[in-house]
């Protein structure tokens, strides 16, 4: 088991917190601007791609643009989980109507689940919803990425077929709630859902059915071209693939399935400050993943300023300077080789000897 944070490390964390304590308050206008710009732009790109206007090349390009925009819009679900609803009134409802329900990813699938990825007792274990022992296991890594191509039809079956049937079949309902009602990367994660969350899940299922049944029925009747569904699948799958690829750079995935303390989570995570390229594959502050695990409630628009302030003002020997990752490609290759996990293991052994 990872040793507890030493007194020196705890004092360093407090010093880091002091430097950025003014950056923990979310600015509602940042969230509304992001949603109201990205959401409509994503819809416009997708609808134009599906309209049949223009060449095949233009359709492919627009579908890729739509995927990038939808990816950016969808990952806001991460922010909805960490930020207090009262501090950004209305944003949860608006996000679900513009993004969550149309894309079969209502926020209830993530809220109440993601925090298990931050808890000391569950991080990096078999019950962590967002962690798998992938380091040095290329077959498992490519299998994990390959599942991206199946999630879309699974979502279709889950919400448009299984959900309404489950309302009348208790055994199926229990299965859906436990195993197919969480936005996770760990397929063995079993969810325990509160009564309030079950009610919100049912409401989301009803909305998704109302939104999706008309276009599906019209397509089956030959009134709508299948082109829109192909474009939707392409954008959905590409966005999901990008997110899964990004996840592979977020951690070393080498915790050893043991409970991990606050500093251990930080050391098992990476920051990728980069530039515009990093913002494409890890938008809304997701490139500062180590910083996020250190201080989970910093809003996305303040993660960049917080990172720059910490790296500029903390001493060169500070623990925080360990967080910088090598970038997406090198992180991916390191994960396949298991080299990042080996370095992490050596570092943890050194930390244990220093604390003893």
What pLDDT does residue 281 have? 95
Gap between the Cα atoms of 5 and 115, Å rounded: 20
What pLDDT does residue 351 have? 44
What pLDDT does residue 341 have? 52
Q: Using alpha carbons, select from 17, 82, 108, 130 the residue that is nearest to residue 299.
A: 82
Q: To the nearest 10°, the Cα dihedral for 175, 199, 38, 91?
A: -150
User: Which residues sit opposite 271 in a β-bridge?
Assistant: 288, 324
What pLDDT does residue 158 have? 97
- What pLDDT, in 10s, does the model give residues 65-82? 999 999 999 999 999 999
What pLDDT does residue 355 have? 41
Quote the pTM value. 0.90
Gap between the Cα atoms of 241 and 209, Å rounded: 25
**Cβ-based burial of 182 (10 A; exposed 0-12, middle 13-18, buried ≥19):** buried
Do residues 328 and 249 touch, judged by C-beta distance below 8 A? Answer: yes
Gap between the Cα atoms of 56 and 46, Å rounded: 14
| 3 state DSSP class of 324 | strand
Task: Please report which residue ranges of 108-253 form alpha helices under DSSP H.
Answer: 138-146, 148-156, 163-166, 170-179, 195-220, 227-250
**Sequence-separated (6 or more) residues with CB below 8 Å from residue 97:** none
**Residue ranges for the chain with pLDDT beneath 70:** 1-8, 340-356
How many residues are present in the chain?
356
- What pLDDT, in 10s, does the model give residues 131-152? 999 999 999 999 999 999 999 9
What pLDDT does residue 356 have? 39
Torsional class of 88: left (φ above 0), alpha (ψ -120 to 50), beta (otherwise): beta
Tokens of 276: 């515009």
Gap between the Cα atoms of 162 and 159, Å rounded: 6
User: ∠ CA 332-333-338 to the nearest 5 degrees?
Assistant: 100
Q: Using alpha carbons, select from 78, 100, 49, 17 the residue that is nearest to residue 231.
A: 49
Q: How many CB atoms lie within 10 A of CB 301?
A: 18
Q: How far is CA 62 from CA 41, 72, 230, in A?
A: 11, 15, 13
Gap between the Cα atoms of 76 and 78, Å rounded: 5
What pLDDT does residue 173 have? 97
């Amino acid at each position: 088991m990872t040793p507890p944070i030493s007194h020196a490390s705890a004092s360093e964390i407090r010093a880091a917190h002091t430097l950025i304590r003014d950056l923990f308050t979310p600015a509602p206008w940042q969230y509304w601007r992001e949603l109201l710009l990205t959401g409509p732009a994503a819809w416009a790109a997708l609808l134009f791609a599906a309209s049949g206007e223009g060449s095949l090349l233009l359709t492919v390009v627009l579908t890729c643009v739509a995927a990038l925009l939808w990816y950016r819009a969808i990952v806001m679900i991460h922010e909805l989980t960490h930020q207090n609803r009262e501090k950004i009134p209305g944003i949860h409802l608006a996000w679900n109507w513009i993004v969550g329900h149309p894309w079969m990813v209502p926020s209830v699938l993530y809220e109440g689940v993601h925090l298990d990825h931050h808890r000391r007792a569950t991080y990096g274990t078999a019950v962590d919803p967002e962690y798998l022992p992938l380091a040095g296991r290329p077959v498992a890594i490519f299998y994990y990425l390959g599942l991206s191509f199946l999630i879309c039809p699974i979502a279709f079956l889950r919400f448009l077929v299984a959900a309404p049937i489950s309302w009348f079949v208790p055994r199926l309902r229990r299965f859906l709630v436990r195993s197919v009602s969480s936005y996770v990367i760990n397929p063995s994660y079993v969810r325990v859902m509160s009564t309030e969350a079950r009610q919100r899940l049912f409401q989301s299922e009803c909305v998704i059915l109302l939104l999706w049944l008309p276009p599906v029925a019209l397509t089956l009747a030959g009134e709508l071209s299948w082109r829109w569904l192909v474009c939707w699948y392409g954008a959905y799958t590409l966005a999901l693939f990008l997110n899964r690829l990004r996840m592979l750079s977020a951690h070393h995935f080498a915790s050893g399935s043991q409970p991990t303390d606050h500093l251990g989570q930080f050391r098992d995570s990476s920051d990728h400050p980069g530039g515009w390229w990093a913002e494409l594959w890890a938008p809304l502050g997701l490139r500062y993943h180590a910083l996020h695990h250190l201080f989970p409630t910093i809003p996305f628009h303040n993660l960049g300023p917080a990172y720059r302030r910490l790296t500029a003002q903390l001493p060169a020997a500070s623990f925080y300077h360990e967080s910088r990752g090598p970038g997406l490609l090198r992180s991916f290759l390191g994960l396949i080789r298991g080299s990042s996990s080996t370095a992490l293991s050596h570092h943890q052994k050194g930390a244990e000897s220093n604390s003893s």
